Amino acid sequence: ASELRGVRRRAGDVSGNNGGRRLAVARHLHAHLGQPRLTDPGRAVTMYTQFGEIRVQLLEKLAPRITSMVWELAAHRNCTTSHSCAFYRNEARPLSGEGPPYALLQGRMYDLPQDPPFEGNIEVRRGHVCFIPGGKDFFIALGDHPEWGNSHPVWGLVDDWQTPDIIVSQQYTNWSHNGGTVLRILKIEVPWTLAVEGDRTFGPLRSAVAPLRAAVAARPARAARCAVRATAQAVETADVKSLNSQFGKADAVEVKEGRGGLPTVFLKSDNGATAEITLFGGCVTSWKTAAGQEVLYIRPDAVFDKSKPISGGMPHCFPQFGPGNIQLHGFARNCDWELAGASDGPTVTLVLTDNEYTWGMWPNSFKAEYTVSLVGDALTTRLVVTNTGDAPFAFNASLHSYFGVADVETATVRGLQGLEYLDRVADAAHPSVHKELRELATFRGPVDAVYRGAPAKVVLDNGAGDVGMASDNWPDVVLWTPWTAMEACYKEFVCVENAQYAPVTLEAGAAWTSATSFIFSSDPLIDFCNGNPDQPECLVYDD
């Protein structure tokens, strides 16, 4: 969490709100912008949180460069990762004086390509949205702040308090900043996605791809199945009963509503191991061994209402690992996958194909086919990406697996020694290159590392045992922990991801396949899956 920088404190702030105050803000803006706000509404963006929406009117005349950066971010549908765009500090309005609490809702907007410039430096009033100079942290002022003078770039205006008020009422912990200031830090961060106003499914095609509209229109109609909903309202569900009668297999495969009412496939193997896969995101959200050991991890800020990708389990990153031209980790984890097949293996196959939503970001025809099986205790996954169009395209991908650990600081990963890795902690777009010298990679601080040319087998010691991963044609492994950026939960999980980091070019009609088998053992996995077909954890596929 970063401290509100450049704060100059003066006495005399009053932070109460009433109609008079709003009028004063409106007049104040009128004076600065030279026109009545309501008759010139201008452009607005919407932040979608699990508690509802926050509409931010862009003050374009006051801060033209900042507002255009924010608009671009919204139009390109970034901010889909809870880590990069989230509120992390909630300070209510003080009963009197300047605080504490400091009358603001603070967050980060780290998907901005660069730090915003310093402009729009008027006195901060209730409703103003301001950046903290020198970075991408920002706040919504919940009260007037004359004590700060003109030290913050003001670029937006919020005048509906319903959602901010809910976030301000969430639990916080006190955190003493070096300077002695006690900050209220949210126990669970509140992530948001950003869209231009009116774009309720992450919106119309962005202007950069406007020429694609014609191409989209010429294509056979195919429903956009990736309508990420804005709020925690009723979730659109497929007809799970009819899916179950079509695909259910006695005792082995059942389709029913899972968490949040999302259509979910439940697998049960002969020995009693289970797995859950949501059609939204094609995400394995649970894998339990026959002994009842849950191996995966769902973050406490995960929501199951399609307002954002499921934060946990095994989300897909496709067609982009990121950062890159489209939203971080691509759109596959935002989309409803189709249930295409099941057998009493138990096995299920989900399919995602291009549609208007995906064309809005990525102008390619594709089919992604994802098969998940339970073989005894082992969970096996296979992803086949086919170019169904008539031109080549490039993509990269990962299986962004979240694993529960007894303690992040004692979790280790073996199998990576001697590899070159890209350290992305400081700057994911410009990583530094290092060599892994350790036999056991650890998580003792923020880790965001891509190991290139990783071996087929790596093992995570999660504190309760070993999670073995045997992969085929996933050339890279990503290790990630957000560390204290996710204060509420970072001790409980690590991500060990099978990845294809370098872009793969697929010619028209060509296909790319990758697979991983996961096995959990409470005893150390000395060796596993040595090509012995009798070992259940070995990759087993019948094509």
Ligand X SMILES: O=P(O)(O)OC[C@H]1O[C@@H](O)[C@H](O)[C@@H](O)[C@@H]1O
Cite the active site residues.
400, 497
b or e along 474-499 (b: 16 or more beta carbons within 10 Å of the residue's beta carbon)? bbbbbbbbbbebbbbbbbbbbbbbbb
Binding map of ligand X across residues 413-432, x = CB under 6 A, - = no contact: -----------x---x----
DSSP tag of 124: B
Q: How far apart are CA 351 and CA 316, in angstroms?
A: 12
Q: Can residue 280 be called a binding residue for ligand X (CB under 6 A)?
A: no
Residue corresponding to tokens 């204060």: 487
Residue number of the CB atom closest to ligand X: 81
Q: For residues 33, 37, 39 and 43, what is the CA-based torsion angle, rounded to 10 degrees?
A: 90
> Which of the stretches 76-84, 206-214, 221-229, 369-377 binds ligand X when contact is defined by CB under 6 A?
76-84
Q: Which of residues 297-326 bind ligand X (CB under 6 A)?
A: 311
Report yes or no: 186 and 171 within 8 Å, Cβ to Cβ.
Answer: yes
Q: Does 285 bind ligand X (CB under 6 A)?
A: no
Give the x-and-dash track for 78-117 against ligand X (CB under 6 A): ---xxx----------------------------------
Is residue 329 near ligand X by the rule CB under 6 A?
Answer: yes
DSSP 449-501: EEETT--SEEEEE-SSSEEEEEEES--EEEEEE-GGGGTTTGGGEEEEEEEEE
**Residue from 400, 405, 412, 525 in contact with ligand X (CB under 6 A):** 400
480 lies in the binding site for ligand X (CB under 6 A):
yes
Q: 161 vs 490, which CB is nearer to ligand X?
A: 490
Stretch 443-462: interaction string toward ligand X, x if CB under 6 A: -----x--------------
Residues in the chain: 543
- Strand 457-461 versus strand 263-268 pairing type: unpaired
The three-state secondary structure class of 414 is: strand
Residue with smaller CB distance to ligand X, 78 or 386: 78
* 497 part of the interface to ligand X, by CB under 6 A: yes
How crowded is residue 55: how many other Cβ atoms within 10 Å of its Cβ? 15
Amino acid identity at 346? P
Residue 268: phi and psi, rounded to 5, are: -135, 125
When asked if residue 537 is in the footprint of ligand X (CB under 6 A), the reply is no
Closest CA to 459 of 525, 371, 393, 530: 525
* Contact region with ligand X (CB under 6 A), list: 28-36, 75-83, 112-120, 215-223: 75-83
Please report where in the chains the tokens 């053992």 appear, as a residue.
521
Of 142 and 477, the one with the shorter C-beta distance to ligand X is: 477
In angstroms, give the least distance from the CB of 153 to ligand X: 26
Of 225 and 329, CB closest to ligand X:
329
Where on the chain is the footprint of ligand X (CB under 6 A)? 81-83, 311, 329, 400, 424, 428, 448, 478, 480, 495, 497
